[in-house]
Amino acid sequence: MTSPASPNDREKVVSKLPGWLRQDLKVRAAQKGIEIQAAVEQGIQDWCNLASATAGVDTSGADSFSTFLPEGQWDEFKRIASDRRVSLIQGLAQSVQLWLDTHPAPDVERPAITRRIVVCNQKGGVGKTAITAGTGEALAENPSRLYPVRIAKQLAAASDALDSPLDTEDLPGLGLRVLLVDFDPQCHLTNQLGGTPLPMNGDSLTNHMAGDPKGDLRDLIVSVDDEHFAGRLHLLPACNDAFLLDVRLSAVRAREAALERALAPLEPHYDVILVDCPPSLGLSMDAAAYYGRRRDGEKPGQSGALIVVQAEDSSADAYELLTTQIDDLRGDLQIDIDYLGIVVNLYDSRRGYIATSSLQGWVDIKDPKVVGLIGDLKEQKEAVRVKQPLLSYAPKSQQAVGMRALAREIS
């Protein structure tokens, strides 16, 4: 964040502001990437330069507010407030409101091409579903509210980072329109978010991929209703018929593009689509990897594969199999499939040498790099039990602040 005056040139001033105005100031300053004191300084300067006071602001319930201003500015402000016959509290409130009015909230930056994030690893139990949900939730949070986000650290020296308090920063939500696609016949993502799996005798993503749709895929989408997301987070539920997907895809022409053909009509409505992949290396995984390929005009690293692992040996074996499949697909079809990174999930350094050395092994890979480290803590399990999104159930938990850091790392 920036400030026009150095700390040595400033003096502390104490006044009062109503809580709602102080909160609006805090959010807007974070949205603009500047310090609160810089915003107040600019607001007071502009207010003093006006020909007269602006419209009155409701200051009922105002309580203590302090900041640092350039030397002499507060004295000049008090003189002008006296000339205009307004109280210091009212003058300060008008100054802050003036700054808010002249610095509107920035628009959410939306990608030109819908981003497609394929969350994968054919090894079951690594937590792909939790990472899919948590990342999607972090991408969809309210841009007009502040949330604690873990400050990035060098993971190479952070094997015990999750055992101590995390350094966090309050940042606005990203405000993107997100679709979570449950591509796993076990329906974990659907169930965890309180959805209902689709009936076997109805329509499903599998039917659309197999070229046998029974309706409009958009009619199957449900909203994850929560004030944190305000209609920006949606779910395409799974159906158990996905167990048959590989068999059905074997009879489909250009089967690698089957998922893309099915989801293409949905893309104009979303900024990001995350696909929770099944624990499989079959044709369905080929289709998911192809869906995440880099398209014409798309920048590297916008779409691709996000690989979820654990800090233990079997994840390394599964990682080799998965990357071999993706690399083979790249070569066979002459396409670019970017690796968005590795997420080490369910980490607990108390498990000893196996966990800490495995984490170091993932960090040492470098390409793809580790982009997230999520601890094995109770809040995620509790959120699953009550069928609520983690980031609304426990928004200040270590797992939640880690999910927000992950979402920003791959944005």
pLDDT score, position 163: 52
Longest dimension (CA), the chain: 83
**Is 159 a residue whose pLDDT tops 60?**
no
- pLDDT > 70? residue 5: no
Confidence of residue 225 (pLDDT cuts 50, 70, 90): confident
Where residue 355 falls among pLDDT bands split at 50, 70, 90? confident
The predicted pLDDT at position 154 comes to 47
115-409 falls under which CATH superfamily? P-loop containing nucleotide triphosphate hydrolases (3.40.50.300)
- Compute φ and ψ for 268, nearest 5 degrees: -60, -15
Residues in Cβ contact with 157 at an 8 Å cutoff, skipping those fewer than 6 apart: none
Banded pLDDT at 1 (limits 50, 70, 90): very low
User: What is the band of 62 on the pLDDT scale with cuts at 50, 70, 90?
Assistant: very high
**331: CB partners within 8 A, 6+ apart:** none
Backbone angles phi, psi at 162, to 5 degrees: -85, 0
Question: Average pLDDT, stretch 1-14?
Answer: 66
Give the pTM: 0.90
Average pLDDT over residues 56-64: 95
For residue 237, give every residue at least 6 positions away whose Cβ sits within 8 Å of its Cβ, in sequence order, or none: 182, 187, 190, 195, 196, 197, 198, 220, 222
Q: Out of 3.90.380, 1.10.1220, 1.10.260, 1.20.120, which CATH number does the structure's domain 7-102 have?
A: 1.10.1220
The answer to whether residue 108 scores a pLDDT higher than 90 is yes
User: Which one, of 31, 27, 45, 61, lies nearest residue 98 by Cα?
Assistant: 45
Angle between helices 398-409 and 128-140 (to 10 degrees): 70
Share of the chain above pLDDT 90, in %: 76
- 378 burial class (0-12, 13-18, 19+ CB within 10 angstroms)? exposed
Pick from 262-271, 348-357, 366-375: least confident: 348-357
What are the pLDDT digits (tens) for 274-298?
999 988 888 999 999 999 999 999 9
Q: Is 36 left (phi over 0), alpha (psi -120 to 50) or beta?
A: alpha
**Mean pLDDT across 120-131:** 90
Q: 7-102 and 115-409 share one CATH topology?
A: no
Q: Under a CB-based contact definition with an 8 Å cutoff, are residues 332 and 324 in contact?
A: no
Percent of the chain with pLDDT over 70: 94
Tell me phi and psi for residue 108, to 5 degrees: -65, 130
Length of the chain: 411
* pLDDT of 410: 94
Confidence of residue 4 (pLDDT cuts 50, 70, 90): very low
Share the mean pLDDT of the chain: 91
Phi (first) and psi of residue 226, to 5 degrees:
-165, 140
Question: Which of the residue ranges 149-163, 257-271, 284-298 would you say has the lowest mean pLDDT?
Answer: 149-163
**CA dist list (Å): 263 to 103, 129, 258:** 38, 19, 9
Q: Quick one: average pLDDT of 74-81?
A: 96
**Cα-based distances in Å from 241 to 36, 257, 258:** 54, 19, 16
Q: What is the mean pLDDT of residues 140-144?
A: 95
Q: What average pLDDT does the segment 171-182 reach?
A: 97
22-26, 241-245, 289-293: lowest mean pLDDT where?
241-245
The percent of the chain in helix, strand and coil, each rounded to the nearest 5, is 45, 20, 35
Give residue 313's pLDDT.
Answer: 79
Q: If you average pLDDT over residues 76-97, what whole number do you get?
A: 96
pLDDT above 70 (res 23): yes
* Dihedral sign of CA atoms 222, 206, 193, 234 in order: negative
* Domain spans in the chain, listed from the N-terminal domain onward: 7-102, 115-409
In the predicted model, what is the mean pLDDT of residues 203-207?
94
pLDDT for 166: 61
Per-residue pLDDT at 3 = 42
Q: Please compute the mean of the pLDDT values over residues 178-191 and round it to a whole number.
A: 95
Residue 2 banded pLDDT, cuts 50, 70, 90: very low
The DSSP bridge partners found for residue 117 are: 274, 304
